[in-house]
Amino acid sequence: MRKYRRSYKYRFLMKMKIIVAKNIGFCTGVKRALDIARKSLEKDPLPVQFLGGLIHNEEIIKEIKNKGGIFISDPKEAKSGTLVIRAHGTPPLPPLNNVFIRDATCPLVKRVQEAAKSLFKKGYQVIIIGEKEHAEVKGIRGQIGNKAIVVENELAAKKIKQFKKIGVVTQTTQNLEKVNRILKILKRKATKIKFVNTLCPQVSLRQEEISQLLKKVDGVLVIGSAKSANTNQLVKIAKISKKPVWLVNSAKEIKKQDFKGINVLGVISGTSAPDWNIEKIKKRLMQL
């Protein structure tokens, strides 16, 4: 308990106490992708094109555009110059003439892609536990010719037919408890099942931390984009507690009246929320 208390910063404003989570701000994969993108914009052949949003953060996208970055949604649209691959990865690219590739795929996402490829080569029916429409999942599926089945929830797992061998990987941002529930169902769907845990430890840590935080607060403020899978997972966990939860992306969204009756407020962020934005939000909370 003492150790847990020490890991938090306590701040007081009026009567409301704020507990800021220890694991907050950019994760290493997002930091790395941003670093690659900024360097690419400075020195790589122009135009510097980005295949989809580099990370799920509107402010960063704006910064890239202001520095001359161009966003495209299909690699075939790429002109000669540079093409930056987003942190979430991509399916294999078609042959591109005079296009220099800067790969900002997070190494942990690469790990999922490699695991899926290896299982596929060994004859397993690959199953990805994740969100069908998420860029990361599309990228993983693409690595094995879109032959993987994507399971979003327990119901979808129940609908899967019987296979001889099933190889399971997860989208990095999934929740471990949900993954375990789905695995239980999948075990009945094959004579042999191999599970490769490809969850991102940094995401899992935040999910654990919000669960702990919820025991101490009256409500929780989650900082991040509504497009971010790991941010949405934090919101989902908070909602289960039935305590109020606010998802905000900027200080402007913070309204005093929202926190009526909240004595202790928890603050946590998704992995693509920049530190400077978190600071602005903390300042805004102080001003209230």
Number of H helices, E strands in the chain: 10, 13
Among residues 202, 232, 249, 269, the one that binds ligand SF4 under rule CB under 6 A: 202
**Residue 138 or 166 having the CB closest to ligand SF4:** 138
* Per-residue binding letters, 66-105, with ligand SF4 (x by CB under 6 A): ---------------------x------------------
* Cα dihedral 214, 212, 205, 8 sign: positive
Cβ 270 to ligand SF4, closest distance in Å?
8
Q: Which amino acid is at 149?
A: I
Q: Is 19 among the residues that bind ligand SF4 (CB under 6 A)?
A: no
Catalytic, out of 63, 114, 136, 208: 136
Task: For the segment 247-276, give every residue that binds ligand SF4 (CB under 6 A).
Answer: 271
Whole-Å CA distances, 22 to 12, 28, 57, 205, 281: 17, 15, 21, 10, 16
Active site residue 136: yes
Of 16, 18, 29, 219, which lies in the binding site for ligand SF4, with binding defined by CB under 6 A?
29
Q: Are 172 and 112 in contact (CB under 8 A)?
A: yes
Is-contact 192 162, C-beta < 8 A?
Answer: no
Instruction: Give the Cα separation of 16 and 86 in Å (integer).
Output: 39
Closer to ligand SF4 by Cβ: residue 41 or 203: 203
Nearer to ligand SF4, 125 or 225 (CB): 225
Kindly identify the residues of this chain, within the stretch 143-182, that bind ligand SF4 according to CB under 6 A.
172
Q: Is residue 207 within the footprint of ligand SF4 (CB under 6 A)?
A: no
For the beta sheet containing 81-85, the strands, ordered from the edge strand earlier in sequence to the opposite edge, are 70-72, 48-51, 81-85, 99-103
Q: Which residue of this chain has its Cβ atom nearest to ligand SF4 in the complex?
A: 29
Helix axes 107-121, 135-143, angle to 10 degrees: 40
**229 touches ligand SF4 by CB under 6 A:** no
Q: Are 207 and 233 in contact (CB under 8 A)?
A: yes
User: Is 106 a residue that touches ligand SF4 (CB under 6 A)?
Assistant: yes
Residues of this chain that bind ligand SF4 (CB under 6 A)? 27-30, 87, 106, 108-109, 172, 200, 202-203, 230, 271
Just list the catalytic residues. Answer: 136
